[in-house]
Structure 1
């Protein structure tokens, strides 16, 4: 259990660093974040959501791991986001993403394997209580294109919260993010 807690803490740390390291770069001229992603959610949460997405490729020396990842957070309120979707791959060697389909699994930080694309979701209610979804039933990330300045594609997944047993179904996820 302690390993699971420290892995989740690391997940929040890395996701937070990835999230806030790119917010300033993705603002339009009036200072509001650009909306570059969207998805539909059902079952535990219902609705269509617009998101700000960011892409980061970096080396984390404390853990001796490379990470490539996509973070998607609530476009309506970046400072007090309602959700954070993290799709990352961790490995001991440098990672080069290519176009194609990646199967989404449990994140390495939630007990998954290195070198595999994982997903984790945190969703906050109106009282800022978090529900963490970390057990992936199925999912894909499709990278449709990569240029020197952008990466775009789509995603879908079904994921369960181990605490509550609630299932979150995400469909029609689309992104077009700066690199």
Structure 2
């Protein structure tokens, strides 16, 4: 029933089957690893170069970040100074406007002493005698007018009425012409 098959061919020295032998080369000869080592060196060099570049750029970014922070701090200080200067300029502009408004008021106000002096000189030149000088305020109707007439009436502050005597019509005419030419 059962039979025992023993293969004695493997034991013979002149017969060796090719089972288990590496294909493509001899067992004892070492493999040349120079290309592998060169590739490994190039890869390590490129990795070291990339790491060095990353380190340098990272330090430059940190330095630039510190500079940006310092410049932003200076910018904040300068903005505060600019706001202070703007405030000073606004105050100066307001002060100048108030001074101009006050100067306009004083330009329109004529002192009575100057008016009296001017009248005395005109009286001597024209030969008339003044008996009464009176100031009257503008009427309410002048303030109610509209358009350019209303603006002109609003600028009027008071009127001066002069009463007196003249020896002739020529003296009165000379007096009126001199009064109209007077800045007062």
State the TM-score, normalizing by the size of structure 1.
0.20
Between Structure 1 and Structure 2, the one with more helix by share is 2
State the TM-score, normalizing by the size of structure 2.
0.19
Higher RCO (CA < 8 A, seq sep 6+): 1
